[in-house]
Amino acid sequence: MPQLDSSGGGAGGGDDLGAPDELLAFQDEGEEQDDKSRDSAAGPERDLAELKSSLVNESEVAAGGAGVPGAGAGAGGEAEVGAEALGRQHTSQRLFPDKLAESLEDGLKAPECASGMYKDTVYSAFNLLMHYPPPSGAGQHPQPQPPLHNKASQPAHGVPQLSPLYEHFSSPHPTPAPADISQKQGVHRPLQTPDLSGFYSLTSGSMGQLPHTVSWPSPPLYPLSPSCGYRQHFPAPTAAPGTPYPRFTHPSLMLGSGVPGHPAAIPHPAIVPPSGKQELQPYDRTLKTQAESKAEKEAKKPTIKKPLNAFMLYMKEMRAKVIAECTLKESAAINQILGRRWHALSREEQAKYYELARKERQLHMQLYPGWSARDNYGKKKRRSREKHQESNTGGKRNAFGTYPEKAAAPAPFLPMTVL
DNA sequence: TGACCTTTGAAGTTA
DNA sequence: TAACTTCAAAGGTCA
């Protein structure tokens, strides 16, 4: 049983952010330890074979109209997938009629996909993280944090995405941000610990949002592979001698255009305009009423993204690897593989990501004390997904991602709740 | 152009 | 409090 939060409060020194589900998940993991041991012993080839087998079975189900429940999920170590995943796999099979299975088949055919599947899992980011000082640890000099009254009061371009924390650890150039910058530049919400500032950098996914006005050698700085966000293999930026390495590693440093003395303001990628469209030019704006402008302004408030959970961090790290190994590109297919790999991970391996995710949540809380996941509710339009699900499965997906009407598998976390 | 697909986990909402 | 819903990443796909 991994001691995520109970062993001295973890690396973060706080149990408050330890997600209950982590422990629950591990409890569940513990019950499946035998299965996982068998999985591990069998090696990646077995996993792939099962995955492939499941896909074949799913195709058979699709073709025959009625398959054998559970057969598609494989046997033995895949029991966890079994009934619980049946609904999802039915769904996926339904939604990716042949393409998904085909793409997965193609990917699995690649020898490197099977051979390298579980090798060389890189946890360098986590290892670095483990040496990371606690956010509000002893010896620090916490600065007063002005409360976050509302998002409108935030700097319009100062919203980091927490995942860069993770990415930053993989960076060959962990550039600690100067602690004094936040003070000099009127940072809205300084970090408690200057060390933390070094873990915020621009993410891969939104690099294109950076304006070209930024005066540094842009190409080498950003992750070239938007799919993985890795930075560790990127060449060092080639700046002129004496040119300071561009530092935008902290949201406090990513100041908006309204900040005096900062012509090269950098909107952080985590600040996602809801529409993704350019704002109206000033002369266009005159055409709008004040009310409309106000409403528009409200709608265009920067979005603070949710911190990534353990699985998301795992996906972010492993996605590129899976893509390279399996020559897959469809995220849906890749995510299926990653989901299975995630289940195949040992508890210790998963614990690393849980801990990493806990760190991200800690940082997120420190940076945005007033932020709530609720803030982003409704920002994504779910057009007719519910309708699709209901019509196709006869019911809504429950909290465990299953469809109770079809998959009556017990809740995986039930044992822990009993305990 | 933007929702959908797919995955798990966290957190919010609802009954 | 259990059950349910939404969002987080990612990129191809499709309406």
Other beta carbons within 10 angstroms of residue A362's beta carbon come to 24
Strands (E) located in A104-260: none
Whether A100 CB is under 7 Å from strand B: yes
Give the CA-trace dihedral at A11, A227, A315, A79, to 10 degrees.
-170
* Top-ranked range on mean pLDDT: pick from A166-175, A274-283, A372-381: A372-381
Q: Strand B: which positions are within 7 A of a protein CB? A: 1-13
Whether A23 CB is under 7 Å from strand B: no
Q: What is the 8-class DSSP label of residue A7?
A: S
With 60 as the cut, is the pLDDT of residue A326 above it? Answer: yes
Of A95-99, A116-120, A255-259, minimum mean pLDDT range: A255-259
Q: What is the pLDDT of residue A369?
A: 87
In whole angstroms, give the CA distance from residue A35 to residue A193: 43
With 90 as the cut, is the pLDDT of residue A313 above it? Answer: yes
Q: What is the 8-class DSSP label of residue A252?
A: G
With 60 as the cut, is the pLDDT of residue A348 above it? Answer: yes
Average pLDDT of chain A, as a whole number: 48
Q: From the CA of A234, how many Å to the C1' of C15?
A: 38
* Amino acid (one-letter) located at A31: E
Q: From the CA of A410, how many Å to the C1' of B4?
A: 28
Whether A386 CB is under 7 Å from strand C: yes
Q: From the CA of A405, how many Å to the C1' of C1?
A: 22
Q: From the CA of A377, how many Å to the C1' of C5?
A: 10
In whole angstroms, give the CA distance from residue A48 to residue A65: 25
Q: What is the pLDDT of residue A358?
A: 93
Whether A19 CB is under 7 Å from strand B: yes
* Amino acid (one-letter) located at A8: G
Q: From the CA of A43, how many Å to the C1' of C9?
A: 27
Whether A372 CB is under 7 Å from strand B: yes
Q: From the CA of A370, how many Å to the C1' of B12?
A: 14
In whole angstroms, give the CA distance from residue A19 to residue A2: 13
A179-208 pLDDT, tens digit per residue, is 333 333 333 333 433 333 333 333 333 333
Question: Helix %, strand %, coil % for chain A, to 5?
Answer: 45, 0, 55
With 80 as the cut, is the pLDDT of residue A353 above it? Answer: yes
Name the band, by pLDDT with cuts 50, 70 and 90, for residue A302.
Answer: confident
A40-67 pLDDT, tens digit per residue, is 333 444 444 444 444 333 333 333 333 3
Mean pLDDT of A301-328: 90
Q: From the CA of A419, how many Å to the C1' of C2?
A: 16
Whether A141 CB is under 7 Å from strand B: no
In whole angstroms, give the CA distance from residue A416 to residue A21: 9
From first CA to last CA, the distance across chain A in angstroms is: 14
